[in-house]
Amino acid sequence: MFFTKLSWPFLTRFLLFLFFALLTVLVFPSSSAMTVEEIETKLKNKDNHLLSTENKFKAFMETYGKNYTTREEYLRRLGIFADNIIMALKHQMLDPSAIHGVTQFSDLTPEEFQKVYTRAHGLLVPSSNEFPAAPPLKAESLPESFDWREKGAVTEVKTQGMCGACWAFSTIGVLEGAHFLATGKLLNLSEQQLVDCDNKCDINDKKACDNGCYGGLMTNAYNYLMEAGGVEEEATYPYTANRGECKFDKNKIAVRVSNFSNIPADEDQIAAYLVKQGPLAVGVNAIYMQTYIGGVSCPYICGKKLNHGVLLVGYGTKGFSILRLGNKPYWIIKNSWGKHWGEHGYFKICRGYNMCGVNTLVSTAMVSH
Ligand SMILES: *[C@@H]1O[C@H](CO)[C@@H](O)[C@H](O)[C@H]1NC(C)=O
Ligand SMILES: *[C@@H]1O[C@H](CO)[C@@H](O)[C@H](O)[C@H]1NC(C)=O
Ligand SMILES: *[C@@H]1O[C@H](CO)[C@@H](O)[C@H](O)[C@H]1NC(C)=O
């Protein structure tokens, strides 16, 4: 019984993973975690390796407009940066069809990155999933590739900033798309309204409540919006990256939410719903995203614990990768970390493997105006 379930692609992937994991452990030391004093001493002694890292670090500071107030903080961040270069190399080995390297997050420890951008519980996952489930669609005659951006259903990439409100961006992306499909008009809608006003909890898990910059859940947000009446435009309720007092004004509602549903955890169904209903909210494990620069992310192993909410906008069949001359079917996903992250704010993740949990928390909403 168990063996019949072990398909060859799975075994190959597993063996490749073992190989790369072993290689990674052999090639890279665990993080150096140098103290500030050690770094200062090494720099004084003109340690070649550290000097070359420092050059990269200075280029990074310039590119991302970083500045540190004290020498000590500078050295501390240099040490973290050095560790992150090693982490990027590890990610590169475990995820060879993507490109990993220096990103805007390269001076953050993994813990800081989790806190700020995904908030560990950036995405609250309910213990049980008893939302209205969507009926299955026919998935046979779908186009080979599909991209809602080409059809004008997706707003520009936004920036959540130092606020774990990924769930609000994911929800709003769904509504912007659904509104475009219903009316042909693209509007920027207000994430801030959700950050300030939405305290909804999951029906089955009273501890999973939307909590501004400290995390939330897309399905809670649809429930809040159905009760509140709707959502304002970004222009009347702009984003601040902080939770403030609720300033929602019913007279300024731009889009109303009439219903929502969960999509079955099946990547053919997800594709069918994407094409029929517009961009979909999805949850992913964001571990590889700290170092992601481009390509199709398809790591040999990735946790399925969801900690980040994003927007699925399309898919393709032939994700070309320089590092691995193979073609991989992929999803196109809009993130909320600005246009300088990833591929102009987007990333690609391979399709058909429930990669990083991508098929487990997928939802869509119906709107009226
Ligand atoms: C960094 O900050 C220091 C002190 O606040 C300032 O003197 C310096 O010009 C800044 N450098 C850059 C590149 O902004
Ligand atoms: C909402 O959607 C669910 C699942 O798609 C469906 O069962 C339900 O009837 C819908 N409710 C309304 C009021 O349309
Ligand atoms: C949404 O807002 C961005 C940033 O302000 C702007 O560049 C873009 O044109 C807006 N899009 C729409 C459809 O209004």
Identify the H or E element spanning 117. none
Task: Locate CATH 1.10.287.2250 in the chain.
Answer: 3-116
pLDDT score of 10: 54
CB atoms within 10 A of CB 293: 16
Question: How far is ligand 3, taken at its centre, from the CA of residue 140, in Å?
Answer: 36
Instruction: Give the residue, by CA position, lying nearest to ligand 2 atom 6.
Output: 132
pLDDT score of 133: 67
pLDDT score of 208: 83
Please report the beta strands in the chain, taking only residues with DSSP state E, as ranges in sequence order.
98-100, 146-147, 231-232, 253-262, 280-284, 292-297, 308-320, 327-334, 346-350, 362-368
The DSSP bridge partners found for residue 164 are 214
Determine whether the shortest distance from the Cβ of 263 to ligand 2 is under 6 A. Answer: no
Compute the half-sphere exposure of residue 58: CA atoms within 13 Å on the CB side of its CA. Answer: 5
Task: Locate CATH 3.90.70.10 in the chain.
Answer: 119-368
CATH architecture entry for 119-368: Alpha-Beta Complex (3.90)
Question: How far is ligand 3, taken at its centre, from the CA of residue 232, in Å?
Answer: 14
From the candidate CATH numbers 1.10.10.10, 1.10.287.2250, 1.10.510.10, 1.20.1600.10, the one assigned to the domain spanning 3-116: 1.10.287.2250
Please report the beta strands in 165-291, taking only residues with DSSP state E, as ranges in sequence order.
231-232, 253-262, 280-284
When the pLDDT of each residue in the chain is averaged and rounded to a whole number, the result is 87
pLDDT of 72-113, one tens digit each? 999 999 999 999 999 999 999 999 889 999 999 999 998 888
What is the rounded distance in angstroms from the CA atom of residue 80 to the CA atom of residue 318?
36
pLDDT score of 240: 97
Instruction: Give the residue, by CA position, lying nearest to ligand 2 atom 3.
Output: 132
pLDDT score of 135: 77
Determine whether the shortest distance from the Cβ of 188 to ligand 3 is under 6 A. Answer: yes
Determine whether the shortest distance from the Cβ of 156 to ligand 3 is under 6 A. Answer: yes
Instruction: Give the residue, by CA position, lying nearest to ligand 3 atom 8.
Output: 156
What are the mean pLDDT values of the chain's consecutive 10-residue runs (369 residues total)? 44 65 62 82 92 96 94 95 95 93 94 72 54 72 94 97 93 98 97 96 83 91 96 98 96 96 92 96 94 94 90 86 65 96 96 92 90
